[in-house]
Structure 1
Amino acid sequence: MTDKQRLIITIAQRIFDQKGFQNTSILDIVKECKMSKATFYKHFETKESFICEIINYYDEKFLEIIHSII
């Protein structure tokens, strides 16, 4: 995952916290990221792949926490 992808995910999470997952659109995310939809889709092929990347990102974070505890 690139730094830009991590930044997009972090910003998206902040919007999800404010508006809820169901009420957040890609347009909301790209506006907050100050990028075009085309740029967003260069980093994530589809909305579904974006969601999968979010899940993978937080899975990795969770595993890091577990390993630090062990």
Structure 2
Amino acid sequence: MRKHQLDLFSLIAGGLFTVIAVLYLVAAVNDVSVNGRIVIPVTFIVLGLGGLAGAVAAAVRRSRPEDPRQD
């Protein structure tokens, strides 16, 4: 099986949306409201940082010399 490159942005975005879903699920079970004025900006900040981390990781990957042993 061929290994694929790690997509850091997708990993961070998936983890973030999973955390948000669990947050809302726990809040609904406990009859607590979630303040959207906090969740939405934090979501955008984390997605922005994830995009930046993904771009930096891609730039580092591109600058690395090829490994001749790869199949």
TM-score range, shorter chain: 0.3 to 0.5
TM-score, length-scaled by structure 2 = 0.39
Structure index of larger Rg: 2
Higher relative contact order, structure no. (Cα contacts within 8 Å, ≥ 6 residues apart): 2
- Which structure features the higher share of helix residues? 1
